[in-house]
Structure 1
């Protein structure tokens, strides 16, 4: 029985179109993803708005209409002044993404209060592409956010597995109970395909925060060098690092609660 939910992927257009942003998207769409994912037991997935698409979620909404072997939900980037949150919710969006990466020139934390209010108004959560430099600031803001609102950190918060201080800062955020983390290894591991440098970190997250973690493949791995990562070794990492019970929570029951499958 299929029992895996991939909580982080991107879908791009097949047709050649003018693009702006930090990278040229690969021509791989949701059908390509389903062809790769369904044979691995992935039955649910979350499509995350890519930075090159900005706050225009129209193509994301179209992607979420795709019928196939993988049920879909979405995470959008919005302009609070123009977004029709009710319509986006009806289309299957369940969260707002905030970009806060120094290397991308983004500092989205200034928008955190207003986007938190937007998310709370429709029962969503926030997903943050952030990094350890911002963890203390995020911690200070948690108490000011709407009651019950959750923050989910993409890519294990971009911690450095060789810098214990960055991991301890992540654990302090998780201690709040309001912060979750995506166990997506490809942006933090220095051993792509083996991920042996992340085993201890993921094991600790699973042991101490079993109900605050989900997994994401980051398919189709934009801005990464060939050979591109493959999904099976990521799942092997989680199976090795997590107990059977926590693996089931991370891959199925936690995403079910978070995204309303």
Structure 2
């Protein structure tokens, strides 16, 4: 049982949906992003998705691309992102942390070294969007052997033939991408998401969390009502990009979390 598994079991026992928030490590600088990160659980966040900045983020829209650029220009690295996790764990040993990013920085560090460092830092799961199931032996299977969940994305184009392959070595939860496209590109619609979540849940016992296209408490509530919870990323990153104080960012997150929990 990872922290992710424990969190979902607790939420299920309480009859609540999950709220997952994404922030980019090191945006706009390391100390500010760490301050936001430390405040997320108190704002109602059940799971933290922490972005590892990368130069070529193929799944991310302009908002998160720019966040990654700001972080890289500020000197953020994979090592510093793992250090953020260590510093967070000094005061919180319960909230699950999922690293979201791309394979290149991990490959550059070396899979074995990365997994050892991530586990010791207090990481619970990985989302690596440019490693398809055909490459599971590269990172997914070693990660699970190291005690980390490997979370896979399913999308509107993941048909019934492809879905079993996507689910094969997935653990923790399934991340359903509500739209065809990049983060922050369009609004998620519960009427479209609901049947897709039901289709995935018919094929797995894992929780299904919906992300992309959620930016208001109302949408968070609507999407969470047809899934096991929701993820908000670009909308939170945009608040940070506008230079709002940490307290204001966290208040925005608090309202989103309340909406998701009402779902």
TM-score w.r.t. structure 1 length? 0.51
**Which of 150, 159, 166 pairs up with 2:207?**
150
Return the match for 1:8 from 38, 46, 49.
49
Shift of 1:188: 5.7
Distance 1:32 1:79, change over 3 A: same
1:179 corresponding residue in structure 2: 228
For 1:49 and 1:170, the matched residues in 2 are separated by 20
From the superposition, tell whether residues 41 and 61 of structure 1 become closer, same or farther in structure 2 (CA, over 3 Å): same
**Matched ranges for 1:183-198 at <5 A:** 186-187=236-237, 189=239, 191-193=244-246, 194-195=248-249, 196-198=251-253
Write the distance in 2 (CA, Å) between the matches of 1:62 and 1:47: 18
From 116, 124, 142, the equivalent of 1:72 is 124
Distance 1:110 1:57 in 2: 31
Query: Is the 8 Å Cα contact of residues 34 and 70 (structure 1) preserved in structure 2?
Result: yes
Partner Cα distance (1:111, 1:57) in 2? 30
From 181, 187, 192, the counterpart of 1:133: 187
Structure 1 stretches of 5 or more lacking a match? 14-18, 99-107, 162-166, 210-261
How many aligned positions are there? 184
The answer on whether the counterparts of 2:223 and 2:230 sit within 8 Å (CA) in structure 1 is no
Higher RCO (C-alpha 8 Å, min separation 6): 2
What are the superposed Cα offsets for residues 190-229 of structure 1, whole Å, 9 maximum, x if unpaired?
Answer: 74512334444423433x35xxxxxxxxxxxxxxxxxxxx
Higher helix share goes to which structure?
2
Contact 1:152–1:182 (CA under 8 A) maintained in structure 2? yes
Give the deviation of 1:186 after TM superposition. Answer: 2.7
Give, in angstroms, the shift of residue 52 of structure 1. 7.3
Matched residue, 1:257? none
Q: Secondary structure at the match of 1:110?
A: coil
What residue ranges of structure 2 are gaps of 5+ in the alignment? 1-6, 8-40, 58-64, 178-182
Match of 1:96 in 2: 152
Give the Å deviation of 1:50: 1.1
Q: CA deviation at 1:141?
A: 1.7
> RMSD over aligned Cα, in angstroms?
4.1
Counterpart of 1:220 in structure 2 is none
Is 1:48 equivalent to 2:96 in the alignment? Answer: no
CA, structure 1 residues 32+123, in 2 after alignment: closer, same or farther (shift >3 Å)?
A: closer
